[in-house]
Structures are given as structure tokens and as C-alpha cells.
Amino acid sequence: MGRASRATPVARRSRYAPAVGLFFLAPLVGEYLLGSLAVTDLLGMVSVAPLYGGGAILIRETARRLRLGWPSILLMALSYAIVEEGLILHTLVNRDALGLGLLEYGYISAVGTSAWWTIYVLTIHTVWSIAVPIALVEALTTRNRLDPWLRWPSTVVVALVFLAGCALTFGYIQGEYPYRLSAPQWTGMLVAIVALLGAAVWLGRRPRRAPTLRTPPSPTTVGTTFFALGSTWMLLLLAAVVLGGAIPGLAISGRVSDDVPARLIVAGQLAVLAAGSLTLVRWSGRSRWDDTHRTAVATGLLLAYAWYGVVQQLLTDVPRAVDIAGNVVLALGAGVLARVAMRHASHHD
């Protein structure tokens, strides 16, 4: 009895450690590594960690508790993206959101939004803010990595923390950039969120197809491929901003020209999404596709985000040596994390 009771705190810490790691890794990747928040703005963690970290934990715990797969995680991550950018920040519909003019480039009056921004921002949250951190933390988890990390009381606490983060961020945005969603906007977003969550559960409950007999490419090839796809995605962002003048409120916007049409950027975005999706579906359906391959996808995408964060800082007109150095350190840290995650994943059963 005494030996079991002494082991209990250790077991509890080992169970909670991955959740704590995900709580902080999600905002570090989603905002700081990207360069949207400077490393000196540590107070930003007060709002972004509950929002990003809380959301990532809730999605991961729900998927693992219901025994759902990665397609379901991605659908739930997309619903999170709509919550953040649509219901909280209003960047999907408010032309004055954040004072950056995010919707002016390729604005479609019939639907009240910009195609390039909607595709871009929903994708980065789905992939980089939620999916990549979950994959990396699970790769680093040695025991019971596909089991729920939290019991129900702890999950409720995380849900409350997430809601607090939503409220805090919403309150700040309303104070700085007040906007009221119309009834059709509310309805459309809520329907989309519920539909995505329902599709996630339905898809996760479907019988999975037997893997094909073909062997997937090596993890190195997988990681390199998704680094290239992620880098192409970020290059499209640079092209939209620097060549197309897509975000008027940014110092780097239109730095070279403003002649690149939005429809060209949207076509490129859709091409990258299609190529990435088809490649992932095709390779993951093969026998011997394992944790090392899944982690290679995440690390390739992570490193693409890392170089962009450094470039974004270098392109700003305001000299900020500390911020640039901070993003270089974060990029190097991402490289170390990718290597460690790959090494851990290769030892999974």
C-alpha cells in the first residue's frame, strides 16, 4: 500500500506533464514562432496560452477519449479556427479588425470576406496552432501517448481556462476594435462549427480502410516534402503581403509592389492544400505508416514556420534587434524540438 501511494504523485505528474507542455507549446508555435508576437511580449501568454493551449488540449483529449483519428482532430482544429478568428477576433468579417485591413485584398462583397485571408488564417490555426503541437507533444510522450492525459475534473478546469481565455481576448478586441456580428454571421459560423464537430465524430466512428501493401516513403522524405509544402505556403503569404499589398496595416505590405492579384494567391493556396491533403491521405493509407512518419510531417511543417518567423522580423522597417534575435533563438529551438521528437517517435511501438 505504501509503495503504491508513493508512486501516485509520480504517475500524476507523468500524466499531466504532456498536457502542460501542450498548453504552452501551442501558443509558442501559433504566435511567437510565427513572429506575430515578439519574444519580449511575455504578457501575451496570459491570454494566448489559455486560448491556444486550452483549445489544443480540449481537442486532443476529446479525440483520444472518443478514439478518433487524425482526420477528426483536423476537423475539430478547423472548428477552433472559426471560433477564434470568427467569433472572437472577427477577422473573417470585420474589415477594420486589428487595424490591419486584412480583408481589403481580394474582398468579396457578396460574402463579406476575403478569400485569401480566410483560407490563410483558418489553415494556419488548423495546422500550426493545433495539429502540429499535438503531434509533437504526443511524439515526446513515452507512456500511454494515445490515451487521455486528464481525468474529467481536470478537463473541466481546462475548459474553464479556455473560456476565460476566449472572454479575455474578446474583451480586449471589443475595447480596441468594436464590432457586432450580424445574425446571419452568427448563424453561419455556428452552423459551420457544429457541422465540423459532427463530421469529426462521424468520420472517427467509421470503419477504417485496410492499409495498402505499398510502403510509404522514408521519414526523411516525408519531412522534406511537408517542409517544402509548408514553405511554399509561407512564400505565398510573403508574395501576398510584399508583392500584393495584402495587409495595408503592416509595414512590409506592398514593400516591392502591389500588382499581384488576389485570385493568383488563392489559386496557389488551394493548390498547396490539395497537394498536401492528397499526399498525406495517400501515404498514410500505406502499411508501415507509423509515428515516425506522422512526426516527420509535423516537424517539416514546424521548420517551415520557423524560418518564416525570422524573415518576418527581418522585413520590418523598425529596427528590433532583440525581437530578431528572439525569433532566431525560437527557430533554433524548433530545430532541436524537431530532432528530439523524431528520435522519440522512432522508439514508439
Q: In this structure, which amino acid lies at residue 311?
A: V
Q: In this structure, which amino acid lies at residue 173?
A: I
Task: Convert 45-78 to b/e letters by CB count within 10 Å (16 or more is b).
Answer: bebbbbbbbbbbbbbbbbbbeeebebbbbbbbbb
Q: Which segment of 72-86, 175-189, 240-254, 311-325 scores lowest on mean pLDDT?
A: 311-325
Cell numbers representing residue 294 in the block: 506522422
Q: Are 60 and 148 in contact (CB under 8 A)?
A: no
CA–CA separation, 85 and 307 (whole Å):
24
Q: How far is CA 260 from CA 112, 154, 212, 247, in A?
A: 21, 49, 42, 13
| Per-residue pLDDT, 237 | 96
The model carries a pTM of 0.94
| Per-residue pLDDT, 12 | 60
CA–CA separation, 222 and 284 (whole Å):
10
CA–CA separation, 41 and 38 (whole Å):
5
Mean pLDDT (the chain, rounded) = 92
Q: In this structure, which amino acid lies at residue 41?
A: D
More confident residue, 208 or 109: 109
pLDDT, tens digit (0-9, with 9 covering 90-100), for 95-152:
999 999 999 999 999 999 999 999 999 999 999 999 999 999 999 997 778 899 999 9
The values of phi and psi at residue 107, to 5°, are: -65, 135
> Which whole number is the average pLDDT over 37-61?
92
Cell numbers representing residue 206 in the block: 467509421
> In what helix (H) or strand (E) does residue 184 lie, and over which residues does it extend?
helix 183-205
Three-class secondary structure of residue 301 per DSSP: helix
pLDDT at 19 over 70: yes
> In what helix (H) or strand (E) does residue 283 lie, and over which residues does it extend?
helix 262-284
pLDDT at 316 over 70: no
CA–CA separation, 290 and 47 (whole Å):
35
pLDDT, tens digit (0-9, with 9 covering 90-100), for 216-275:
999 999 999 999 999 999 999 999 999 999 999 887 888 888 889 999 999 999 999 999
